Amino acid sequence: MKTLVDKIYQNYASAAPSRFRSFWHECLRSRRLARLIFGMKRFPVDTDDSCYFDLTTILLRHELKKLMRRWENPRMLEIGTGSFAILSGCLSKNISTAIDGVDNREERVECAKNFISANSYKVNAVTSNVFSNVPEKTYDIIFWNLSYYEDPGVLDVLFDQASDYLAPNGVLAVGYNGKALPRATVLSHLESTKKVSLDKAIAYFWNMHEILLIQRTSANRKPDLSFQ
């Protein structure tokens, strides 16, 4: 199975034209799927060339919904909302408080604001480089579908500052494509800070994406490495 997934990915990532890649991009650009999976109803600007989500978005949605059950009304922050705030928008339907959402690209935040108001999402979107403009409060869940094709140096800022924004039992969830950004790389950045540490790694036999759940460091916590 691993070899098959690897083969599909090689085909997907290669420069040569690929039918699978074209089909997959059509799926990620599909308003029908954005409606079906994330409940997005209105598309206020012309975004025909944009992908509304990726596989990490779908997996994070699933894992975060489970995680949210630990709290009655979790206080949540999304880093990297993208242009549609599709993930926090979808999750905001399950709680009564608004989710804070940031992105470092101002044009994406402006676009996301249109989607937030058109879909009546409970999301407060602001421009911020990781935590630079995040309100001074703590969150039960902080999550980020990482920009996994970019320089992972930003992870040092994320892991170094996360503990200042996490409530005592709060969880930082990061999702990424493990082929583009190997888990060992993420963990090497995580290990450079002693403030937060790995609680659980969720990987899937049928795809290369992963989700890490990270908490404030505690002396007797052992990480759980589960595969689905």
| Residue 125 touches ligand SAM, criterion: CB under 6 A | no
35 versus 223: smaller Cβ distance to ligand SAM? 35
Exposed / middle / buried, residue 205 (Cβ in 10 Å: 0-12, 13-18, 19+): exposed
Q: Which residue in 53, 115, 121, 159 binds ligand SAM (CB under 6 A)?
A: 53
Determine contact, residues 194/217, Cβ cutoff 8 Å: yes
Q: Which residue shows structure tokens 């790389």?
A: 185
Sign for the pseudo-dihedral over CA of 117, 123, 124, 126: negative
CA pair distance 50, 57, nearest whole angstrom: 14
57 versus 221: smaller Cβ distance to ligand SAM? 57
Joined together, the tokens standing for residue 66 give 């489970």
6 versus 107: smaller Cβ distance to ligand SAM? 107
| Residue 145 touches ligand SAM, criterion: CB under 6 A | yes
| Residue 87 touches ligand SAM, criterion: CB under 6 A | yes
Q: What is the dihedral of CA 133, 61, 86, 88, to 10 degrees?
A: -40
Q: Which residue in 80, 89, 152, 170 binds ligand SAM (CB under 6 A)?
A: 80
* Amino acid occupying residue 120: S
Q: Which residue in 68, 125, 130, 181 binds ligand SAM (CB under 6 A)?
A: 130
26 versus 224: smaller Cβ distance to ligand SAM? 26
Q: Which residue in 30, 124, 147, 193 binds ligand SAM (CB under 6 A)?
A: 147
117 versus 218: smaller Cβ distance to ligand SAM? 117
Q: Do the bridges between strand 196-203 and strand 123-127 make them parallel or antiparallel, or are there none, so unpaired?
A: unpaired
10 versus 132: smaller Cβ distance to ligand SAM? 132
Return the range that interacts with ligand SAM (CB under 6 A); candidates 50-58, 62-70, 118-126, 194-202.
50-58
Sequence-distant (≥ 6) Cβ neighbours of residue 78 within 8 angstroms: 85, 87, 88, 99, 100, 101, 102, 123, 142, 143, 144
Q: Which residue in 154, 186, 196, 214 binds ligand SAM (CB under 6 A)?
A: 154
Determine contact, residues 141/76, Cβ cutoff 8 Å: yes
Q: Which residue in 40, 63, 68, 103 binds ligand SAM (CB under 6 A)?
A: 103
Q: What residue ranges bind ligand SAM (CB under 6 A)?
A: 53-54, 57, 79-82, 86-87, 102-105, 108, 129-130, 145, 147, 154
